């Protein structure tokens, strides 16, 4: 046997001859042809194939790559194979199966090959082609899909995370990150990948899919890799780019909506409430405050959230919306978070600022309408009637006096409403309208109340409908100047030295009508007067005597809960 033409090389493509005449050329039986054949063997190509070699005369096997446990590798058309095989392999496709019959003059001729191939033997090679490549081959890239918007492609020094299926040209899978549901994570340009794959990944966008075909000399070459990748194997990678970033990347902020009339922006130390959707760069959702129907609440710039979010929350208006891209070194780094966020993941947040405040904030009041005439303004102890709408800062209406039959009423200073609302109701004229912003520490605080969320800033739209000036706490009636002296003589209108309820009531009403005195507002006048009379009528005989009035004055020194 010619040592330059070992038995392993005896695999050729045949052209048919006929009848009983001696074979003058190879005979090729293409008994299995794949449906798709992107490439055919040409002269100077390298091939990798499995074969069984038998004698045409009796079918006896003389050689087999299967028995050796490895495929045969050679170059075609340069005399490294017997001539019949050099011809028989031409035009063959990967995964094609051929039966190549080689006449003696295109095989080992009249000499044969040692003790294995007798002289003038017709040889039959059953061939399965596994691989084709050429030293001039380059990495082949075919884009399967690409996002419409691609602002950035992978480049050297970037860190990438991708899924892939790895297969041989025969479609045999040697590895898959899809099946393990894990990405392959690595830096580009640092020699951590085979050269051909690294070349194929360059320029990929997040969400892009590619098929990358890597020739053996840009893959694992003559050594192969483990039991799965044989020597001189062309590798096919179907890749989905999941994520990419550069260690030098900073926060990326895109403002998507800014409300009109933004007069204040968030700063370090503010407390903010916001909604968000959190996704990876491929759009996969990992968290959402909207799904929980609850805002995320935190202080800004104090380390309560990831560093990138702490930076991104600064300089925003109430109602503003932003898209924020946070690289992993400003998020959860190489470790990620349990099964929720993979290591080295870029995070994308779409945020909507609901409201914010500072613990030092006071109640903000803006007068939207004030009547020309304003003779009296509301103050402590006054009884008022007012209309209101109570909303969150995003405009969500919580409560309204319009939901009831009549406007709301309260006495200022009686702790009947939240402190911030009472502050906003002070100093108003009848007919005046205001917008009042109440921070949570002036409202319902961290716990909220009813439909009011925790730590919510409230917006009140107020209109004062009615104002009745009040009296100090604990009093039913006050003089608006010096009272009559002596008081009993003024009360005893008919001079009979006794004051029954009717006479007492007429006296009090007269003082109110003449602007000399004031009853407690918000209560029925006759009821107040009856209580005042009962307090003075010590012996309960239905009339007040001068002695009873004097005793009360002597005991209390001041008129409290009575004249």
Q: So which residues are the catalytic ones?
A: 164, 174-175, 194, 220, 237
Q: What is the 3-state secondary structure (H, E, C) of 327-358?
A: CHHHCCCCCCECCCECCCCCEEEEEEEEEEEC
> Are the C-beta atoms of 355 and 456 separated by less than 8 Å?
yes
Handedness of CA 89, 91, 96, 99 (dihedral sign): negative
Q: What is the 3-state secondary structure (H, E, C) of 518-539?
A: EECCCCCHHHHHHHHHHHHCCC
Cβ neighbours for 522, distance < 8 A, ≥ 6 positions apart: 383, 409, 411, 468
Q: Helix, strand or coil for residue 162?
A: strand
Q: Helix, strand or coil for residue 563?
A: coil
Helices (H), 108-212: 177-180, 195-201
Which tokens sit at 177? 């990150």
Task: Work out the end-to-end distance of the chain between its first and last CA atoms, rounded to an integer number of angstroms.
Answer: 138
> Are the C-beta atoms of 458 and 391 separated by less than 8 Å?
yes
Residues 62, 65, 68: CA angle, nearest 5 degrees: 95
Beta strands in 4-158 (DSSP E): 27-32, 46-55, 61-64, 72-75, 97-102, 123-133, 140-145
Identify the residue whose tokens are 């890799």: 225
Strand partners, 100: 28, 125
Torsion of CA 244, 247, 251, 253, to 10 degrees: -40
Cβ neighbours for 33, distance < 8 A, ≥ 6 positions apart: 93, 96
**Number of CB atoms found within 10 A of residue 430's CB:** 19
Residues 263, 264, 269: CA angle, nearest 5 degrees: 175
Q: Which helix (H) or strand (E) holds 464?
A: strand 458-468
CA gap 218, 196 in Å, rounded: 5
Strand partners, 438: 458
Torsion of CA 96, 194, 139, 127, to 10 degrees: -10
> Are the C-beta atoms of 563 and 487 separated by less than 8 Å?
yes
> Are the C-beta atoms of 167 and 236 separated by less than 8 Å?
yes
């Amino acid at each position: 046997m010619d040592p330059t033409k070992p038995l392993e090389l005896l695999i050729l493509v045949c052209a048919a001859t006929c009848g009983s005449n001696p074979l003058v050329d190879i005979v090729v039986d293409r008994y299995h042809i794949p449906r798709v054949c992107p490439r055919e063997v040409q002269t100077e190509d390298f091939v990798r194939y499995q074969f069984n070699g038998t004698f045409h005369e009796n079918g006896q096997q003389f050689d087999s790559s299967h028995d050796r446990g490895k495929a045969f590798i050679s170059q075609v058309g340069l005399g490294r194979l017997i001539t019949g095989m050099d011809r028989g392999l031409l035009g063959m496709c990967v995964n094609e199966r051929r039966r190549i019959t080689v006449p003696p003059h295109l095989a080992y001729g009249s000499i044969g090959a040692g003790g294995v191939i007798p002289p003038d033997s017709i040889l039959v090679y059953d061939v399965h082609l596994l691989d084709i490549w050429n030293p001039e081959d380059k990495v082949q890239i075919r884009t399967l899909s690409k996002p419409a918007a691609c602002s950035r492609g992978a480049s050297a020094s970037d860190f990438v995370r991708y899924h892939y299926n790895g297969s041989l040209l025969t479609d045999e899978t040697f590895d898959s990150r899809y099946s393990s549901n894990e990405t392959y994570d690595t830096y580009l340009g640092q020699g951590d990948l085979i050269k051909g794959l690294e070349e194929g990944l360059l320029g990929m966008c997040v969400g892009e899919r590619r098929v990358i075909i890597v020739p053996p000399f840009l893959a694992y070459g003559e050594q192969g890799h483990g039991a799965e990748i044989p020597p001189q194997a062309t590798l096919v990678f179907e890749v989905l780019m999941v994520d990419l970033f550069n260690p030098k990347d900073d926060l990326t902020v895109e403002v998507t909506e800014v409300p009109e009339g933004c007069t204040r922006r968030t700063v370090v130390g503010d407390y903010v409430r916001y909604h968000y959707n959190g996704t990876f760069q491929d759009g996969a959702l990992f968290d959402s405050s909207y799904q929980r129907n609850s805002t995320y609440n935190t202080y800004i710039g104090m380390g309560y959230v990831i560093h990138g979010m702490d930076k991104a929350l600064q300089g925003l208006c109430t109602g503003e919306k932003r898209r924020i891209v946070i690289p992993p070194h400003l998020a959860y780094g190489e470790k990620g978070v349990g099964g929720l966020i993979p290591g080295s993941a870029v995070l994308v947040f779409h945020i909507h600022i609901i409201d914010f405040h500072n613990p030092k904030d006071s109640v903000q009041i803006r007068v939207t309408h004030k009547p020309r005439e304003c003779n009296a303004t509301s103050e402590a102890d006054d009884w008022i009637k007012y209309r209101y709408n109570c909303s969150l800062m995003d405009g969500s209406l919580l409560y309204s006096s319009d939901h009831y039959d009549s406007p709301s009423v309260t006495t200022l200073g009686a702790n009947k409403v939240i402190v911030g609302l009472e502050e906003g109701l002070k100093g108003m004229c009848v007919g005046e309208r205001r917008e009042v912003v109440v921070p949570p520490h002036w409202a319902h605080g961290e716990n909220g109340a009813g439909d009011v969320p925790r730590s919510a800033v409230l917006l009140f739209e107020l209109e004062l409908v009615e104002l009745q000036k009040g009296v100090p706490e604990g009093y039913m009636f006050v003089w608006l100047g010096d009272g009559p002296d002596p008081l009993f003589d003024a009360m005893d209108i008919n001079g009979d030295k006794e004051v029954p309820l009717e006479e007492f009531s007429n006296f009090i009403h007269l003082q109110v009508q003449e602007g000399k005195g004031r009853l407690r507002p918000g209560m029925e006048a006759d009821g107040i007067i009856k209580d005042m009379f009962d307090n003075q009528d010590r012996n309960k005989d239905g009339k007040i005597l001068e002695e009873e009035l004097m005793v009360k004055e002597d005991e209390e020194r001041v008129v409290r809960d009575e004249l």
